[in-house]
Structure 1
Amino acid sequence: MATSAMAAESTNGSGANSAPAKNGDGHDAPGFKLKFATVCASNQNRSMEAHLRLSQAGYPVISFGTGSLVRLPGPTITQPNVYQFNKTSYDSMYRELDAKDSRLYTANGLLDMLERNRNIKWGPERWQDWPVGFPRLQTTGDKGSDGTESGIVDVVFTCEERCWDAVVDDLHNRGSPLNRPVHVFNVDIKDNREEALVGGRGILDLANSLNQLAIEERERAGATSFDAGGASGRARFDERVPEVLGEWQERWPNLPAIWTLAWF
C-alpha cells in the first residue's frame, strides 16, 4: 500500500496514467440514486470519509460503527479515549479533547477529523442498534439524509473485514423480516487519514458504477418493480453486481474487496 494519499490514488485508479473508468468514475451521481450505508469500527474515520464523499455526490447515505464502544487514540496506547455510540456527539468529543490537550490532538489529526465529522452529522451510530425499516426523521440535519427517511438502504460498504463479518452476522441474526435484498461490500482500508481519503474515492467510484447499473436495470424492470426492492424486480441487477465489482477491482487493485448478497 502506498504511504501517501497522492501515491495511493495514483495506484488506485485516479492517477494520470490510469485507464478510463469503464462504468462510473464521475463525481456527480446521474439519474436514479441508490441508497448507501458506510460502516467502520467506530464511525469516525473511514466510514465518515466515505459518507462525506457519497453525500457530496448527491447520494442518500447513512453511516455506522460496529464496535461495542467508540475508541479514539489517547496520550498512550493503553489510555484511549472511549465514548458511547448513539449518546455522544462529535462536537462534545471535539471540545473534550481540545480541552484535554489541544496540541496533542491537533498533531495526531483527531481534532481535524472530529471537525469534519461534526459538520456531517450529530454523532457516531452503532450498526447493531439501527432499527432497519423505521423512519429516520430525527436525522434531517445530516449530510446525505435526504432519501434515507425510510430507514432502508440498497448497499452497505464496510471498510474492514471484521466490520463486514459483524454486519453480515447481524443481518443473519435479524432473520430477514423485510425480505429485502441488500448488497454488502467490504473495501479494505487502513485506518489512517491518508488511506481513508483514497478509500473514500474508491467507494464513490464503486457507488457510481452500481448506480449506473441500477439505472439500466430499473428501466428494464420498470420503476415500480425495481423500487419495491423485491427479488423479482432486482434479479438482473443482483446478478450483474459481481461483474461491476470485477471491473472496479481492476481500477482499484490496492483496495481489496469482497461482496455478498444479504437480506433485510
Structure 2
Amino acid sequence: MRSRYAMVCSSNQNRSMEAHALLKREGFDVSSYGTGSHVKLPGPSLREPNVYDFGTPYKHMFEELRRKDPDLYKRNGILPMLKRNMSVKLAPQRWQENSPDGPFDVVLTFEEKVFDMVLEDLNNREQILMKTVLVINLEVKDNHEEAATGAQLALDLCREIEAAESWEESIDDIVSNFEKQNRRKLLYSISFY
C-alpha cells in the first residue's frame, strides 16, 4: 500500500518540516503544513517574533534573517532550519488552504491543538469523496532536538501503517504497539474527504 501523508504543526514549520524532510528522503509521498494564521519564527525576544505570510519563500526568510542578525539566527537554529526547509520545498503552506493537494490517507500532527484544528477543518469540509483519512497526533515538543526525535518516530509509525494490508482494520494494534515500544501516547481519529 502506498499512502499519501501530510505532516502538520502550528506556525513555525519546525516539527512538520523535519518529518517531511525525513519521510521524503525515505521515499514517502509527503507534504507539510502549518495551521496558524502566519508563520512565526523566534526573534530577538519573545515579544519580537519574525512573522511571515504563508507562501513566503523560505529563501526570502533565510536572506532577511541572515541580514538582520546572522549570529543570533545561526545560534538559535533558525538559519539551519530554514536551509533545511529550502531543500524540501519552496514555501510554507497553510493546512486550511490545502484542498488542491489532498486527499491524504494519513495526517500526522505534532500537538493536540493542531490535531483538533485538523479534525475540525476536515469535519467542516464538504465530504464528497467519502474517502477515509486517518488523523494521528504524536505530541512533540517544539525544539530542534525533539523535532528530530519526533521525525524518526513519525517515520517508524508511517512504516508500520504502510506495512499493514489495511490500516482501517489494524490501526488499534499499530497504535498499541507503537505506544508500548516508544512510551508515547497517540491520539487518533478517522475522518473523510
For the aligned pair, the TM-score class normalised by the smaller chain equals over 0.9
State the partner residue of 1:189: 140
Task: Determine helix, strand or coil for the equivalent of 1:119.
Answer: helix
How far is 1:43 from its partner? 5.5
> Is residue 239 from structure 1 mapped to residue 169 from structure 2 by the alignment?
yes
How far is 1:109 from its partner? 0.5
Find the aligned partners of 2:20 and 2:11 in 1 and give their Cα distance: 13
TM-score norm. by structure 1 comes to 0.71
Task: Determine helix, strand or coil for the equivalent of 1:42.
Answer: coil
> Is residue 262 from structure 1 mapped to residue 184 from structure 2 by the alignment?
no
How far is 1:79 from its partner? 0.6
Find the aligned partners of 1:124 and 1:42 in 2 and give their Cα distance: 9
Larger radius of gyration: 1
State the partner residue of 1:204: 155
Find the aligned partners of 2:106 and 2:78 in 1 and give their Cα distance: 28
Find the aligned partners of 2:11 and 2:89 in 1 and give their Cα distance: 14
Unmatched runs of 5 consecutive residues or more in structure 2: none
Unmatched runs of 5 consecutive residues or more in structure 1: 1-31, 137-150, 218-236
State the partner residue of 1:147: none
How far is 1:53 from its partner? 1.2
1:1-264 to 2 correspondences below 5 Å: 32-42=1-11, 44-86=13-55, 88-131=56-99, 134=100, 151-213=102-164, 216-217=165-166, 237-253=167-183, 255-264=184-193
Task: Determine helix, strand or coil for the equivalent of 1:175.
Answer: coil
How far is 1:38 from its partner? 0.2
Find the aligned partners of 2:23 and 2:138 in 1 and give their Cα distance: 15
CA deviations 1:217-260 (Å, max 9, x no partner) are 4xxxxxxxxxxxxxxxxxxx31321111110111111x331000
Q: Give the residue type in structure 2 aligned to 1:71.
A: K
Find the aligned partners of 1:122 and 1:178 in 2 and give their Cα distance: 29
CA deviations 1:106-164 (Å, max 9, x no partner) are 11000000000000000110000111xx3x5xxxxxxxxxxxxxx32100000111110
Check the 8 A contact 1:184/1:262 in 2, yes or no: yes
Check the 8 A contact 1:43/1:64 in 2, yes or no: no
Structure that is richer in strand per residue: 2
TM-score norm. by structure 2 comes to 0.96
Paired-residue identity, %: 42
